[in-house]
Amino acid sequence: MKEDIKAYQHKVQYYETDQMGIVHHSNYIRWFEEARTDLLEQVGFTYQKMEECGVIIPVIGVNCEYKSMVRFNDIVTIFPRVTEFNGVKLTVAYQITDVATGKLCTVGETKHCFLNSEYKMFRLAKEKLEVYQTFKDLLELGVKKA
């Protein structure tokens, strides 16, 4: 498992803001996905690779708390971290901070389950050991702040 995992950075685009110039709340959920996808790419286990192995990871829950506003042209760092994993379900926590100020902007989490190609839940440890080990390692490692 690669230990030099970097946090994900995102520059806020104009289309992501509302009429007040503040990031629309729905975009944070997209950023969670971007950071989670980047995390998996960094450890060499992309969504594409998982799907080729017959593993699908749908989102079954989302929680997001807004601590301070993010505006157009701000650059934020998103720290994803696997906080729960049992081979059937997965929780990824996120912290979004402003790069310029270091201020905490948002915290949240996504919850997932693992489905096979027939859309049925299954235990990774029994059927997809490589995928199981990847998430087990991420749980133990967490993400180091870049």
Q: How far is CA 104 from CA 2, 68, 77, 101, in A?
A: 26, 7, 10, 9
Answer yes or no: 18 catalytic.
yes
User: Which position among 18, 38, 98, 137 bears the catalytic label?
Assistant: 18
Phi, psi of 117, deg, nearest 5: -65, -10
Tell me the Ramachandran region of residue 89: left when phi exceeds 0, alpha when psi lies from -120 to 50, beta otherwise.
Answer: beta
The encoded tokens of residue 13 equal: 């685009």
Active site residues: 18
